[in-house]
Amino acid sequence: MTFSKVRCSAILAGLLCLTMFTACGGSETSSNYYAEDPAPYAEDPAPTAVSSSEAEAPADDAPATEKAVRPAPDTPVSQTKDDGTSDIHVTIESVEISLNDLKAQNYTVPVYVTLEENSGISYSEWGASFDERCSVVTNPDDEEVRFDTVCSINTEKHFFWTAWSAASIREKPGKLLSLLVTLPEDAAPGDVYAITYAPVSQANMLHSWANSETDWVKSGYVSWTDGGITVTE
């Protein structure tokens, strides 16, 4: 990994700390790297930070950490065009696994998050919540992942938030993230462990799917499909 990639990974990791939480306690940060991408990062991918005047005014006796939290935005909904397509569509994989196979895999199940429709992004931020009975890590060695996504996982909130940036527009679809989800050992046939797309971070930041000319969250159609794991007989 080149110096510029390392530098920008650090920038994105720091950004995730700001967009997920007022502090980074209880979180883990990791990334997926696709080795053949010649220039996966822009020099300054971070969106403009909210000013103190834009933040919701806290009570005089509010803790200092609360003063930096943005007011909660309206939660976006998944939107498609009349023909059922979108400018951006994200799919969290739905996996069915038998109890015997689950035990053979030490209760850990791979789950992909895929960008199915891509109108040409050079920057993204998005997140997901997962069942509180599960633990989640990313798989940075998965060569099928086509985006170098930095992911910060809040183990206490059962939530993760991501960021990705490229120096040039990426128009092709592809796998955004490879997750390794560990289920509890008392998992039984019929149990469902949901992974749900999150358009708003823990710090009340909206998701982003954009390039230098277009922000599809503001002026387009962004949709998603939730997923998770179902245990079968």
Nearest 5 degrees, angle CA 162-CA 165-CA 167?
175
H or E, element range at 113: strand 108-118
What is the rounded distance in angstroms from the CA atom of residue 30 to the CA atom of residue 32? 7
H or E, element range at 13: helix 3-20
- Per the prediction, the chain carries an average pLDDT of 82
Instruction: Quote the pLDDT of residue 68.
Output: 58
Instruction: Quote the pLDDT of residue 103.
Output: 98
What is the rounded distance in angstroms from the CA atom of residue 2 to the CA atom of residue 31? 15
Lowest mean pLDDT among 9-13, 66-70, 163-167: 9-13
Whole-model pTM? 0.77
pLDDT reading at 41 higher than 50: no
- pLDDT band of 216, cuts 50, 70, 90: very high
The residue written with tokens 């209760």 in the block is 107
- pLDDT above 90: percentage of residues in the chain: 68
Instruction: Quote the pLDDT of residue 35.
Output: 36
Answer for the pair 210, 123: CB distance below 8 angstroms, yes or no. Answer: yes
Answer for the pair 175, 145: CB distance below 8 angstroms, yes or no. Answer: yes
Instruction: Quote the pLDDT of residue 70.
Output: 72
Instruction: Quote the pLDDT of residue 71.
Output: 85
Mean pLDDT (whole number) for 200-216? 97
Instruction: Quote the pLDDT of residue 17.
Output: 56
Answer for the pair 130, 193: CB distance below 8 angstroms, yes or no. Answer: yes
pLDDT reading at 146 higher than 70: yes
What is the rounded distance in angstroms from the CA atom of residue 102 to the CA atom of residue 104? 5
- pLDDT band of 22, cuts 50, 70, 90: very low
Answer for the pair 31, 140: CB distance below 8 angstroms, yes or no. Answer: yes
> Hey, what domains does the chain have and what are their CATH numbers?
3-232 (2.60.40.680)
Instruction: Quote the pLDDT of residue 63.
Output: 53
pLDDT digits (tens, 9 = 90+) for 89-145: 999 999 999 999 999 999 999 999 999 999 999 999 999 999 999 999 999 999 999
